[in-house]
Structure 1
Amino acid sequence: MKLRHRYLLLLFALLLAALTGCQGGDAAEKSKADASNAASQWLAMVDQSKYADAWNGAADAIKKGGNEQQFAEAMRAQREPMGKVTSRALEASQYANNPQNFPPGEYVELKYKTSFHNAPSVEELLQLVKTSDGSWKVGAYFPKQNQ
């Protein structure tokens, strides 16, 4: 599982690098706002331990990583030791259209600064992808506790 986690972090780092070079605009700003709203809804499900709902509402990238039960177990292992969310603030968002090393499409990366009851400083990274129906779905989620 650790190798898989490193692989996902590497993919996320590549997306971050690809997004850094992308330019904005009104359409990009709207995409970032829409993706942020979708992320907030998805995070609310995770915050409430509604892992089945979060898995069902996730992008294929998460679903390909394992079935609903495996996702729930991984989320419990990551999130429950941190306790309840006490605050969350969006720190950064980046938009990319057809970034290098990723399947064609629109992507938004979001970075949150989050405090949990048992983990006061956590960086949550989310990668969202725009689906064929025009909705935004979470394709990757990485909570990282800051020391």
Structure 2
Amino acid sequence: MLIPKKYHFHLVALVAVAVMIFYPILSKKVEPRMLMEGTIAAEDFLHLIDSGQYEQSWNSASALMRDKIFLEVWNRRIPAMRTKVGTLISRHQTDASISDMAEGAPEGKYLTLVYDSTFSKQSTATETVILALEKDENWRVAGYFLK
């Protein structure tokens, strides 16, 4: 079905508005430099956890995370969680996204990295690391989740 010529302008305007609204939402691709810096910070953090350096991992985390999770709680939860899954066998980053918001956090820059991981007691696992860009322009871990 053809659109009458008198509506062509309206159709073009509607498409333009839709692109202006949805393009920023759908194109939340991570810039290569941000991805590299965030990945380095996340993997340094994960290495601390993998090697049982739980207090150091907490100390390296963002102020946001340290304000929400006390060191004593971190030192109980993370070792218990890692004991349940066993030692790391492999880890592969599968996804990365950037956002101006994170649940329960103030507006800012947040990078979410997702890893498919294998542990000695759990053959398939998903690790999610959320990083916050802090005032000093460094990425620091704001959340760590293992499923």
TM-score by length of 2: 0.76
| Identity rate, percent | 22
Please, which of 64, 85, 94 is the counterpart of residue 61 of structure 1? Answer: 64
Q: Does the CA contact (< 8 Å) of 1:127 and 1:140 recur in 2?
A: yes
Q: Is residue 93 of structure 1 aligned with residue 93 of structure 2?
A: no
Quote the residue 2:48 is aligned against.
45
2:107 is aligned with what amino acid? P
Query: 5+ residue gaps in structure 2?
Result: 1-24
Is the 2:28–2:97 Cα contact (8 Å) retained in structure 1? no
Q: Which residue of 1 aligns with 2:28?
A: 23
What CA deviation, in whole Å up to 9, does each residue of 1:98-125 have, x standing for no partner? 2376422211000000000011100001
Structure 1, unpaired ranges of 5+: 1-19
Aligned residues: 123
Indicate the SS of the match to 1:64.
Answer: helix
The CA RMSD measured in Å over matched residues stands at: 2.0
Paired AA for residue 37 in structure 2: D
Question: In the superposition, relative to structure 1, how do residues 65 and 100 fare at CA in structure 2: closer, same or farther (>3 Å)?
Answer: closer
For 1:51-105, what per-residue CA distance to the aligned partner results, in whole angstroms no more than 9, with x for missing partners? 0100000112321233212111010111112111000000000112x23764222
Q: Is the 8 A contact 2:96 2:111 kept in 1?
A: yes
Q: Which has the higher contact order (CA 8 A, sep 6+)?
A: 1
Identify the residue that residue 84 of structure 2 maps to in structure 1.
81
